[in-house]
């Protein structure tokens, strides 16, 4: 009998738990440890953030589902890692309960295999004054943040109705090295459409602020894509959409402070500037959780497990941008020191960014961190689960399933406005996620046949279909496994 412990119940953690439970017999234990009671379908947070969806539509409680499916669950957060165990136990993690009668109590949870799917820490603290829900600045990173954002937007709309001067909306990244530009891009287009629908668009100016050096970088070094059968840069595509929606933009901006309706930032030219706003949604930096790891004698072995995020089979050698290759990126998400520990999704430490690193003349690094959300999180979690399943069944280590971001496609269906007939979407697919400049030398590192863009109502329908399909899948309803990650 084997015991597989999964830390986290987001897209990666829940995907891994679902596949492990389906494919392993009940004599093996699957245990999920997560501080969250609910599963949330994060990609739909942007619709909660404009008030067109309620949180109840994108979440469901995990424990009843897990009970029904034979997955054990502890509502707790991990405190420390002990991959060598101690004299009397298998390797274990120490967890602390966050809810119920056991709240505050700690417990050793032993494992045969450990999947770290703890995702990122939303590091609001790395930007002074960036507290979601205060000072007219919001976030859509979680469903409750998004709900606050919807209230803030509603206040802005009411204020705009009675205002003689133009109000200001600022949306984008709230840190010099933030990622997840895609979510902010979706949100700005949804806010713009919502303001039009509520007939106050002419009373509000909307501005995009980003750490990207060009529009459409998305933390992926931008892309050359096929649009209406012709090659087009993602920067041109995003610019076309922004001009059409009368959205202005600020590029290469490292926001470092928020104070009373003002965003302070440094740009790539080294200038220190300020942007005023009446409503802002800024994505924070993502960081590791600061976990500690200890050996059998209690010695600190944190660097063997963590470089901020978890160390996996990537090439972490420090080298210049020109020498980066797709081979640097991990394939199995296995920790090299402890082969029974894996970190799919956002929990693994990337070898470097995907976008070209840039610094201001003052030495401030301003460029996006690599995005690893949604589809790649699901795919990497499934391949980790499949390798563990094969290893358990064969009785020896199996790493047959591999998936590098340099050999994996992603579909980014960005909502550009909600509404069955009035909605819109910017659909972008890219292959591979990490550009392979050697293999696809002439097309910016991407396979142009699989990298395309499209704008229109169909994109909204696709995004809405994915919402329902993935919630169905997450609820493990009949034949859920037929829906790909």
Partner 1 sequence: MKQKITKSQKAYMQNPIIQFFKFIYLNVRIIRIVAGGHGGTRK
Q: Which residues bind partner 1 (CB under 8 A)?
A: 232, 236, 239-241, 243-244, 326-327, 329, 331, 375, 379, 383, 402-404, 406-409, 411, 413, 421-422, 424, 427, 429, 431, 436, 450, 452, 454-459, 461-462, 465, 484-485
Q: How far is the CB of 215 from partner 1 (least distance, A)?
A: 10
Q: How far is the CB of 206 from partner 1 (least distance, A)?
A: 17
Q: How far is the CB of 455 from partner 1 (least distance, A)?
A: 6
Q: How far is the CB of 85 from partner 1 (least distance, A)?
A: 31
Q: How far is the CB of 185 from partner 1 (least distance, A)?
A: 16
Bond before 356 cis per omega within 30 degrees: no
DSSP H helix total and E strand total for the chain: 9, 28
Judge contact between 125 and 111, C-beta under 8 A: no
Judge contact between 11 and 42, C-beta under 8 A: yes
Q: How far is the CB of 45 from partner 1 (least distance, A)?
A: 21
**Between residues 131 and 407, which has the closer beta carbon with respect to partner 1?**
407
The residues, any chain, with a CB within 8 Å of residue 32's CB and separated by 6 or more, are 6, 8, 9, 13, 14, 17, 62, 66, 71, 72, 73, 74
**Between residues 98 and 458, which has the closer beta carbon with respect to partner 1?**
458
Q: How far is the CB of 362 from partner 1 (least distance, A)?
A: 31
**Between residues 285 and 428, which has the closer beta carbon with respect to partner 1?**
428
**Between residues 79 and 469, which has the closer beta carbon with respect to partner 1?**
469
- Whole-angstrom Cα distance, residue 261 to residue 210? 17
Q: How far is the CB of 325 from partner 1 (least distance, A)?
A: 8
**Between residues 138 and 242, which has the closer beta carbon with respect to partner 1?**
242
**Between residues 263 and 408, which has the closer beta carbon with respect to partner 1?**
408
Strands of the sheet with 167-173, listed across from one edge: 137-138, 279-283, 167-173, 204-209, 247-250
**Between residues 94 and 462, which has the closer beta carbon with respect to partner 1?**
462
Q: 159-168, long-range: CB within 8 Å, 24+ apart, which pairs?
A: 159/278, 160/195, 160/200, 160/203, 160/204, 161/200, 161/203, 163/203, 166/203, 166/204, 166/205, 167/203, 167/204, 167/205, 167/278, 167/279, 168/204, 168/205, 168/207, 168/276, 168/277, 168/278, 168/279
Judge contact between 90 and 84, C-beta under 8 A: no
**Between residues 52 and 289, which has the closer beta carbon with respect to partner 1?**
52
Which letter does DSSP use for residue 449 in this model? T
- Whole-angstrom Cα distance, residue 177 to residue 172? 12
Which letter does DSSP use for residue 368 in this model? P
Label residue 23 left, alpha or beta by phi (over 0 means left) and psi (-120 to 50 means alpha): alpha
Q: How far is the CB of 32 from partner 1 (least distance, A)?
A: 25
Label residue 218 left, alpha or beta by phi (over 0 means left) and psi (-120 to 50 means alpha): left
**Between residues 316 and 461, which has the closer beta carbon with respect to partner 1?**
461
């Amino acid at each position: 009998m084997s015991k597989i412990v999964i830390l986290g119940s987001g897209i990666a953690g829940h995907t891994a738990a679902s596949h492990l439970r389906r494919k392993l017999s009940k004599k093996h234990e699957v245990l999920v440890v997560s501080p969250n009671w609910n599963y949330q379908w994060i990609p739909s947070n942007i619709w909660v953030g404009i008030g067109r969806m309620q949180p109840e539509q994108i979440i469901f409680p995990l424990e009843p589902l897990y009970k029904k499916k034979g997955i054990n669950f502890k509502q707790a957060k991990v405190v420390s890692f002990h991959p060598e165990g101690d004299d009397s136990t298998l390797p274990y993690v120490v967890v602390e309960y966050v809810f119920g009668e056991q709240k505050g109590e700690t417990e050793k949870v032993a494992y045969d295999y450990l999947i770290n799917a703890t995702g990122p820490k939303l590091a609001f603290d790395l930007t002074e004054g960036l507290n979601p829900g205060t000072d007219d600045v919001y976030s859509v990173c979680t469903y409750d943040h998004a709900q606050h954002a919807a209230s803030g937007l509603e206040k802005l709309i009411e204020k705009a109705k009675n205002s003689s001067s133009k109000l200001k909306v600022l949306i984008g990244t709230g840190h010099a090295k933030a990622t997840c530009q895609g979510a902010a891009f979706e949100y700005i287009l949804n806010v713009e459409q919502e303001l039009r629908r509520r007939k106050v668009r002419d009373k509000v100016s909307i501005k995009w602020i980003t750490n990207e050096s060009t529009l459409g970088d998305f933390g992926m070094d931008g892309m050359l894509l096929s649009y209406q059968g012709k090659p087009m840069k993602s920067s041109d595509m995003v610019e076309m959409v922004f001009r059409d929606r009368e959205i202005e933009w600020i590029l290469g901006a490292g926001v470092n402070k928020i104070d009373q309706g003002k965003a302070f930032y440094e740009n790539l030219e080294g200038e220190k500037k300020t942007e005023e706003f009446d409503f802002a949604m800024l994505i924070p930096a993502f960081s590791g959780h600061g976990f500690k790891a200890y050996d059998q004698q209690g010695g600190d072995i944190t660097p063997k497990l963590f470089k901020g995020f978890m160390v996996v089979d990537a090439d972490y050698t420090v080298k210049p941008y020109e020498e980066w290759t797709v081979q640097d990126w991990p394939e199995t998400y296995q920790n090299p020191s402890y082969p029974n520990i894996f970190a799919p999704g956002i929990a693994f430490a990337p070898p470097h960014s995907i976008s070209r690193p840039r610094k201001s003349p003052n030495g401030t690094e301003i460029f996006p961190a690599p995005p690893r959300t949604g589809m790649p999180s699901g795919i990497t979690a499934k391949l980790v689960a499949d390798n563990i399943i094969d290893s358990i069944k064969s009785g020896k280590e199996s790493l047959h399933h591999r998936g590098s971001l340099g050999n994996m496609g992603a579909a980014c269906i960005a909502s550009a406005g909600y509404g069955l007939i009035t909605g819109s979407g910017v659909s972008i697919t890219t292959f591979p996620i990490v550009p392979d400049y050697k293999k696809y030398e002439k097309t910016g590192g991407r396979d142009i046949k699989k990298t395309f863009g499209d704008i229109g109502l169909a994109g909204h329908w696709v995004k809405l279909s994915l919402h329902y399909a993935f919630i169905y899948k997450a609820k493990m309803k009949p034949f859920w496994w037929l829906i790909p990650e």
